Amino acid sequence: MKQFAFVIVLLSFETISAETDTLRAKVDSLFLRASSGQLKFRELNEPSKKALREMPEAIPYLVEKFTIRDARERRALIDILGKMPDAVMPVVEATQSSNRDVVKAACEILGELKDSRATPYLVKVLDHPDILARGYAATGLGKCGGKEARGGLLKTLNDSVNFVRTQAAAGLGFLKDKTTLSKLIDALQDEYYGVRFAAVSSLAKFDSTAVPYLLKSLHSEVPMVRQLSAEALGKIRSRAAVPPLSRMLKSKLWSDRLTAIEALSQIDTPAARRILSLHREGELLVKARQEELLKR
């Protein structure tokens, strides 16, 4: 009887093992088609991704692929798992891996999933030795939100690495917590241009909430801060910015005037257009840009 029971268990194990091998082979086959750049598979890319997204049982096998370094395959993996809500917790566990490639892939995917359950784990990655891991974790934090996200991003805004600070500034734009606006304004003075531009893009996402902060920094003694603030106000299309931008056209710096012209063109109200048309520009390059914008 014991021997018979052992045979039953053995057969069951072999059946499960066979089913597992079959599922793995199916996942591998679909992923090959989903990530392939070969012409014969190109039309199968999206259908294969869709098939994998509809297979929650494929998640463990897809997570095993986090060590992939091929850019096309990595992008496909992010695109697949980033649209599978059931993948959140298995991917979260991968952030604790000792393999930095696994951690980086996990952080990118969690950013796509935008689930606050991932926030505490992403905060831990902010101390990771790998630059990309910290950067992707910062962006992911902004997208996932949660009560720990703000503190983590503000801390990372002081990271010693340019790329990481840039991602932190971008993350704050996704988070859109108005209590961080003053820090984003400060980031306009960062030594690295990437951080400054990310801060402008993030400030623009706040829309009217950011306008008072930007109007104030429009009077900064630092030309770069003035100009970046004007750029953000143009992106927001703030009517309140028209008068100070008009005054900025009187600046001795051609870069100030050019930025004001660009911003007024974006705001595109009757008052902004009138000011733009009446301005008499002396710098040839700025004048050419002004004329180009007036023709639109």
For residue 273, what are the CA distances in angstroms to 106, 246, 259, 264, 276?
48, 11, 15, 7, 5
Q: Look-up: residue for tokens 């703030």?
A: 238
Q: Which two tokens stand for residue 197?
A: 């531009």
Q: What is the CA radius of gyration of the chain?
A: 26
Q: Given phi > 0 = left and psi -120 to 50 = alpha, else beta, which region is 269?
A: beta
How far is 259 from 249, CA to CA, in rounded Å?
9
pLDDT at 4 over 90: no
Q: How high does pLDDT run on average in the chain?
A: 90
How far is 66 from 99, CA to CA, in rounded Å?
9
Render pLDDT for 90-146 as a digit per residue (tens, 0 to 9).
Answer: 999 999 999 999 999 999 999 999 999 999 999 999 999 999 999 999 999 999 999
pLDDT of residue 19: 54
pTM of the model: 0.82
pLDDT of residue 10: 36
pLDDT of residue 265: 96
Q: Which domains does the chain have, with CATH numbers?
A: 31-37+47-144 (1.25.10.10), 209-296 (1.25.10.10)
Question: Considering only 9-23, 109-123, 158-172, which range has the smallest mean pLDDT?
Answer: 9-23
Render pLDDT for 56-85 as a digit per residue (tens, 0 to 9).
Answer: 999 999 999 999 989 999 999 999 999 999
Report the pLDDT averaged over residues 149-166.
97
Distance separating the N- and C-terminal Cα atoms of the chain: 89
pLDDT of residue 283: 93
